[in-house]
């Protein structure tokens, strides 16, 4: 068990130990007016879709949004995510994704980072095309569903899985973010980019306070940072 997964109390269930959930954020008026809170407040069910940050890879299975669930205890919330996946991975498995009235999709950081043409959207144009294909497939099963699309997550310097320099990776990530924002504007989807808040925090404090490595938030302060950053976006 990674030290980030250690909590004060553990509980038994049929599958073994369960850690305690990450604490919810202190909700501010800014957060209540944000894109994500407004969308979730108006939805009966929510499905979060993403890669390792949404899956809770390396931190004991704690997804980035877990603190958010405390604000909506009566919502039906599901998670369909897979560590290391790109957008094309999800389009190929859209039939397995649960029906929901709101989809919150956080994909693209691995398309930027891996640069593998066999699995990655290699340009910003390819990326939004894949996002559009995924959205169309989800609309086919949930015709009235709303969508909030999250900009590809920021990753720090020293990323061992990215062949690009930090400057190149950051510039490319910005291209994908800009293309996604334009897509959301044109297709009436919610858009949020939490990267500036995350980056500023990691610059002001030691990265290890929040991250386990170059991208994965820990199960305490890390996921709370990601949740609060996402809630503050409008």
Please give the average per-residue pLDDT across 39-56, as a whole number. Answer: 97
Q: What is the pLDDT of residue 201?
A: 97
Asked if residue 223 lies in contact with residue 212, where contact means CB atoms within 8 angstroms, the answer is no
Percent of the chain surpassing pLDDT 70: 92
Please give the average per-residue pLDDT across 86-101, as a whole number. Answer: 97
Instruction: State the Cα–Cα distance between residues 18 and 177, nearest whole angstrom.
Output: 36
Instruction: State the Cα–Cα distance between residues 120 and 109, nearest whole angstrom.
Output: 10
How many domains, in total, are found in the chain?
Answer: 1
**Three-state SS at 127:** helix
Please give the average per-residue pLDDT across 198-213, as a whole number. Answer: 94
pLDDT tops 60 at residue 6: no
pLDDT tops 90 at residue 7: no
- How many residues are recorded in the chain? 234
Q: What is the pLDDT of residue 74?
A: 93
Bridge partners (DSSP) of residue 12 are: 17
Range of the domain at 129: 3-231
Q: What confidence tier does 20 reach under pLDDT thresholds 50, 70, 90?
A: confident
Q: Which residues contact 4 (CB under 8 A, 6 or more apart)?
A: 58, 59, 60, 212, 218, 219, 220, 222
Please give the average per-residue pLDDT across 58-78, as a whole number. Answer: 94
What is the domain-level CATH number for residue 177? 3.40.50.1110
Cα distance from N-terminal residue to C-terminal residue, the chain? 37
């Amino acid at each position: 068990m990674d030290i980030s997964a250690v909590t004060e109390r553990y509980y038994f269930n049929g599958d073994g130990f369960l850690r305690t959930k990450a604490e919810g954020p202190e909700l501010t008026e800014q957060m209540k007016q944000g894109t994500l809170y407004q969308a979730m407040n108006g939805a009966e069910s929510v499905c979060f879709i993403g890669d390792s940050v949404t899956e809770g890879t390396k931190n004991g299975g704690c997804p980035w949004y877990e603190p958010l669930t405390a604000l909506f205890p009566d919502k039906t919330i599901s998670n369909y995510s897979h560590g290391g996946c790109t957008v094309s991975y999800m389009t190929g498995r859209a039939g397995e994704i649960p029906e929901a009235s709101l989809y919150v999709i956080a994909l693209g950081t691995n398309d930027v980072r891996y640069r593998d043409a066999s699995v990655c959207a290699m340009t910003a144009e390819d990326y939004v095309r894949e996002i559009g294909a995924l959205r169309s497939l989800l609309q086919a099963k949930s015709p009235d569903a709303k969508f909030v699309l999250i900009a590809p997550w920021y990753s720090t310097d020293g990323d061992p899985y990215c062949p690009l320099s930090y400057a190149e990776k950051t510039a490319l990530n910005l291209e994908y973010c800009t293309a996604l924002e334009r897509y959301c504007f044109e297709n009436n989807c919610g858009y949020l980019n939490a990267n500036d808040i995350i980056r500023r925090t990691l610059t002001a404090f030691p990265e290890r306070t929040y991250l386990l490595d170059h991208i994965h938030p820990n199960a305490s302060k890390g996921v709370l940072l990601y949740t609060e950053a996402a809630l503050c976006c409008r």
